[in-house]
Amino acid sequence: MNLLRKNRSLACIGSDSVACVCAFVRALAAFSAAALLLLVSTGRAQAANPDSVLLTVAIGNQLSVRITDQFDADRLNYNFGTMLLGQSSVNTGEINIDNNSGGLVETFQLSVADNGSNGLLLRTTVGILAQDEYRLSALFQDAAPSPSAFGDEDILTVAPQTAESQGAAAKFAASTTPADEDGKDVQAPDRLAGRAANVRLWLKLELPAAATVNGLQTDFATVYVNAM
């Protein structure tokens, strides 16, 4: 702009108006050329080759387990119904254990806690149940097992025990349990091929031959499933 003003003031000294206009036009053209050169230079300064972009991701890398029923709803409790003293019973409603970690391979641990609110007493060892005692055992497999399929190694304890692969003395797996149905190395649903996205847990409840308690025993025990 200073260039335009300077040229215009020099060109318009005198009385020749035509010469003044011509000088003004030349100054304007010179200013436009300088402005264009500045614009092109600025554009070149902003160009980049190569350019870059910053990336962000959230990694789902946390052990997680979910207990569900046959309708894929959360299994909050299970009722064994009415049992007589001295009987054993295996759950008939599904208790499914889902690996919902999002991609990790998990092995399950099982444990039990006696809620101690109704007079029943948890026993975690073999032998004949004394008065008021009960015992819980567990197996992983798809098909419902008979009470006789549970072994001494399947008895639930207060301390967590880790599921093992099928075998005659494997924890929470019978000798006939297929390898993809036990609680060991359970894959997340997105890694499974051709099988359900969970493993099925069966619990056997044993009652004593004699008891001082009677009637409904609500929430007498809690079974815990832990992923590792």
In single-letter form, the type of residue at position 62 comes to Q
CB-CB contact of 142 with 198 (8 Å) = no
Return the CATH number of the domain spanning residue range 60-228.
Answer: 2.60.40
For the packed helices 2-11 and 17-46, what is the interaxial angle rounded to 10 degrees?
Answer: 160
> How far apart are the C-alpha atoms of 156 and 119, rounded to whole Å?
19
CB-CB contact of 101 with 62 (8 Å) = yes
Contacts of 80 (CB under 8 A, 6+ apart): 89, 91, 205
CB atoms near residue 227 (< 10 Å):
21
Say what the pLDDT of residue 27 is.
Answer: 57
| 12: confidence class by pLDDT, cuts 50, 70, 90 | very low
The SS3 of residue 217 is coil
Q: What percent of the chain has pLDDT over 70?
A: 76
Q: Spell out the alpha helix ranges (H) of 92-225.
A: none
State the DSSP string of 24-57.
HHHHHHHHHHHHHHHHHHHHHHH--SS-------
Q: Spell out the alpha helix ranges (H) of the chain.
A: 2-11, 17-46
**Domain segments of the chain as ranges:** 2-46, 60-228
Total residues belonging to the chain: 228
Mean pLDDT of 8-16: 44
Higher pLDDT, 214 or 116: 214
Question: Looking at 72-76, 149-153, 192-196, which range is the least confident one?
Answer: 192-196
Residue 189 preceded by cis peptide, ω within 30: no
Mean pLDDT of 121-134: 97
Tracing tokens 């003044």 back to the chain, one arrives at: 20
pTM of this prediction exceeds 0.85: no
